[in-house]
Structure 1
Amino acid sequence: MQNPRRVRDLGVVVGTLPTGPLNAITDVPGVRVGQTTLTGDGLNTGVTAIVPDGYDETLPAAVAVGNGYGKLIGTTQVDELGVIETPILLTGTLSTFRVADALVTWLLDRNPRATSLNPIVGETNDAYLSDIRRRPITPEHVHAALDTASPALPLEGCAGAGTGTTALGFKAGIGTSSRTLASGTVGAIVQSNFSGLLTVLGHPIPATPVDADGNSCMIVVATDLPLDARQLARLARRAVFAMGRVGSDFAPGSGDYAIAFTTNRAPGYADADLRGPFQAVTESVEEALLNSLTMARTTTGHRNHTAHAVPHDLIRGLT
């Protein structure tokens, strides 16, 4: 049995920009990630929490919708105001609403004066490997992910909200990556669960389709560049575009979303200088998507369904 390895450790280098020290979304200063994983008894699911410092005072943000077949709680207020005011959480489809409620409870406990909150919770459908109808996520699972959020390298593959997901014919999950620019850092974390033909640096990697209907991808992009909400929307759109670089077929049953935020509240970045951030987000999302597959393990779950990890020998050293 092969051990999970990041795609860069397999000799596959995406793009030309340098990564951050961890090659993760947590390379962006002030961004932490926590996860809770549930396995066994027909369950392969969990929660992934992206917790930026300063969310309680609002941070500039934007959402891009590639295909709206999904449940992304809180988007209309982000579109209207151009900010987030809570952490961003990811989970399985039918647990989305319980996770949102638990997030609100966690936030109210920390702010006795709050009378309105806009929780941001996204999802992908992990029903192939997990008994999704049980809606197993409890407030304790959500609070544990939030309370343990750390600036360390997040677990990838079969972890948190990616425990039961599949993509491009293989077992997938959580993946992360980052790029550094002279002016700051761009990082991404993904929950991969979509159909298509896995493509690594232009090389197709055939697989037996696990779910021809897609089932979605959530992408969260963080940066410390001084971007406003309009510019962040442009980054978020490029994040969705990056799915095509790894072979997504953008199926009609797939809910593909990107949320981009900055920890820098002082906008002043010129549109003419966005080429670097555009390249950074595209490269970091592409590599995060590949990491979500190469870091996953073969998994058997609900109804004895099995999703196989991509064989590393098929992609090792591709250029």
Structure 2
Amino acid sequence: MEQVPRRARDLGITVGELPTGPLNAITDVAGVTVGHTTIDDGADLHTGVTAVVPRQLGAGHRSLPAAVYVGNGYGKLVGSTQVDELGVLESPIVLTATLSVFRAADALLTYLMDRHPGGVSFNPLVGETNDAHLSDIRRRPVTERHVLDAVRSASPGPPAEGCVGAGTGTSALGFKAGIGTSSRRVGVGGSPYTVGALVQSNFSGVLTVRGVPMPAAELVPHGDRTEPVGNSCMIIVATDAPVDARQLGRLARRAVFAMSRVGAAYTHGSGDYAIAFTTTPPPRQPLPDGLIDPLFAAVLDAVEESLLNSLFMAVTTVGVRGRIQHAVPHQQVLRRLAATGRLSAPA
């Protein structure tokens, strides 16, 4: 019987000691919404679109403070240089497959032009990972309608995880992966803030859960396992803390660092990117640097748990040319964690 997808925390795997938001998702940051469009024909197409849409954009604000950190630039992150240069986010953030990123950017441009009649310059921000191992990527099935549907359907509720949207055909650490999300709540200078993360996992390495290696070669039958050719990771971090673009760059760096906690190999072909933004307009006085350590801790924990959720919520998938990518076998992981005393009580 195929296992039921379950989040890491529901399996008794707790990352860090900081409390989560009520949804344990990026949507715990007020105003941040998530939408998906999934393209899955059960055979050759396993792909889609995921959109992170801050509602503060368009509510009297054309931009929000933001930063991009490039862990390894083997990827296509459309619009990143202007974010780097100006330190602002001007559009929803869209994730999709590598060869669909340019069509997605054009579709997002349509959305921005509709929102701002008369504008003559826009900066759509679109990232990707390569899902060619399970999906016929050269067919480029993502259309303008798929992108607009994901953006316009974005909601503040619990985002779907695993094999959905831009994570429908992705793999990580030798297993089927996808979309994952998590959040943390922290106090800084006497004020409460929320940090949320969402990931599109598609990278190589050896899965590590709470410091315990879980090699795919040991957990999945040898004759029934295939390895993806491409690998990358897109990470989105949102917060409501009053931080500026420079400080958001520091948060984005920690997001990529968090990949090492789950066993990322950071290989030559892995395009590893983090985008961080705040829903608070540019503050007159950003938080002092000496006070933002709790935000760093929140990013590290939220990204680590997001990555685990992207794996534990995925299901075994048979893709193009009969390639198969297995879901992480929950019970085998739990047995190994229990043997080392690193398993909490399930939520």
Partner AA of 1:26 in structure 2: T
Kindly state the Cα deviation for residue 89 of structure 1 after the two structures are TM-superposed.
0.2
Structure 2 equivalent of residue 48 of structure 1? 50
Partner AA of 1:204 in structure 2: P
Task: Please state if 1:205 is matched with 2:214.
Answer: yes
Distance in 2 (alpha carbons) for counterparts of 1:89 and 1:238: 21
Between the two proteins, the alignment pairs up a number of residues equal to 319
Distance in 2 (alpha carbons) for counterparts of 1:252 and 1:314: 30
Q: Between the two proteins, what is the percent identity of the paired residues?
A: 65
Checking the alignment, whether the CA contact within 8 Å between 1:214 and 1:251 is kept in structure 2 is no
Structure 1 equivalent of residue 324 of structure 2? 306
Structure 2 equivalent of residue 237 of structure 1? 253
- Aligned to 1:316, the other structure's residue is in SS state helix
Q: 1:93 to 1:79 in 2, by over 3 A?
A: same
Q: 1:173 to 1:212 in 2, by over 3 A?
A: closer
Structure 2 equivalent of residue 109 of structure 1? 114
Distance in 1 (alpha carbons) for counterparts of 2:118 and 2:184: 38
Q: 1:86 to 1:156 in 2, by over 3 A?
A: same
Mean alpha-carbon deviation: is it higher for 108-117 or for 157-166?
A: 108-117
Structure 1 equivalent of residue 27 of structure 2? 26
Structure 2 equivalent of residue 71 of structure 1? 76
Kindly state the Cα deviation for residue 210 of structure 1 after the two structures are TM-superposed.
4.2
Kindly state the Cα deviation for residue 270 of structure 1 after the two structures are TM-superposed.
0.8
Checking the alignment, whether the CA contact within 8 Å between 1:170 and 1:210 is kept in structure 2 is no
Structure 2 equivalent of residue 36 of structure 1? 37
Residues 262-310 of structure 1: CA distance to partner in whole angstroms, max 9, x if unpaired?
0011432110011100000000000000000000000001111110000
Q: State the structure with more CA Rg.
A: 2
Scaled by the length of structure 1, what TM-score is found?
0.98
- Aligned to 1:293, the other structure's residue is in SS state helix
Find the partner of 2:195 among 183, 186, 203: 186
- Aligned to 2:105, the other structure's residue is in SS state helix
Distance in 2 (alpha carbons) for counterparts of 1:9 and 1:263: 29
Q: Which runs of 4+ in 1 moved over 3 A?
A: 208-214
Residues 110-136 of structure 1: CA distance to partner in whole angstroms, max 9, x if unpaired?
221211100000000000000000000
- Aligned to 2:216, the other structure's residue is in SS state coil
Gaps of 5+ in 2: 218-224, 343-347
Distance in 2 (alpha carbons) for counterparts of 1:63 and 1:266: 17
Kindly state the Cα deviation for residue 316 of structure 1 after the two structures are TM-superposed.
2.3
Distance in 2 (alpha carbons) for counterparts of 1:248 and 1:211: 15
Task: Please state if 1:293 is matched with 2:311.
Answer: yes
Distance in 2 (alpha carbons) for counterparts of 1:176 and 1:105: 27
Distance in 2 (alpha carbons) for counterparts of 1:214 and 1:46: 17
Task: Please state if 1:119 is matched with 2:124.
Answer: yes
Structure 1 equivalent of residue 221 of structure 2? none
Partner AA of 1:218 in structure 2: M
Structure 2 equivalent of residue 142 of structure 1? 147
Gaps of 5+ in 1: none
Partner AA of 1:184 in structure 2: Y
Scaled by the length of structure 2, what TM-score is found?
0.90
Checking the alignment, whether the CA contact within 8 Å between 1:157 and 1:163 is kept in structure 2 is yes
Kindly state the Cα deviation for residue 147 of structure 1 after the two structures are TM-superposed.
1.0
Mean alpha-carbon deviation: is it higher for 84-93 or for 55-64?
A: 55-64
